[in-house]
A = this chain, B = another copy of it.
């Protein structure tokens, strides 16, 4: 359980690759896809999501492509994962009050809260710089 989907895997591979390239090198989606062995059309969707929240910058037209949106050390793995997989929510009831019908005295609730916190902590302290190994 708790498995990352392909989408999440691809997202990490793609953006880590981008982070490993020279900072000013505009990368073609097709090149990234080939390099990390991911279907280009699928990776395109992923990078669109990245682009919307500024994790990468995109340029259209001739000479276009992608650049990292911020310095690699300023992008955490947590951001990358949550960008494509949504927030870390081990159980519905950690989302917010009212989500858990078996409400008030749900004894399991705080446990999932703890799990959520731990996972976020681990993912948040890892940056693309660490992963790209520059």
A1's contact among B77, B85, B115, B118, by CB below 8 Å, is which?
B85
A2, A112, A115, A123: residue with the most chain B Cβ atoms closer than 10 Å: A2
A111's contact among B82, B102, B123, B132, by CB below 8 Å, is which?
B123
| A57 to B49 CA separation, bound complex (whole angstroms) | 49
**Chain B residues with CB under 8 A of A13:** 102
**Chain B residues with CB under 8 A of A85:** 1
Q: Write the chain B residue with the least CB distance to A90.
A: B2
When each residue 111-134 of chain A gets 1 if its CB lies under 8 Å from chain B and 0 otherwise, what string results?
Answer: 110110011011100100011110
Q: Mostly helix, strand, loop or mixed at chain A's interface?
A: helix
- Give A contacts to B, CB under 8 Å: 1-5, 8-9, 12-13, 16, 77, 81-82, 85-92, 102, 105, 107-108, 111-112, 114-115, 118-119, 121-123, 126, 130-133
Nearest 10 pairs of A and B residues by beta carbon: A1-B85, A118-B118, A2-B2, A107-B131, A4-B91, A115-B122, A114-B122, A2-B90, A111-B126, A115-B119
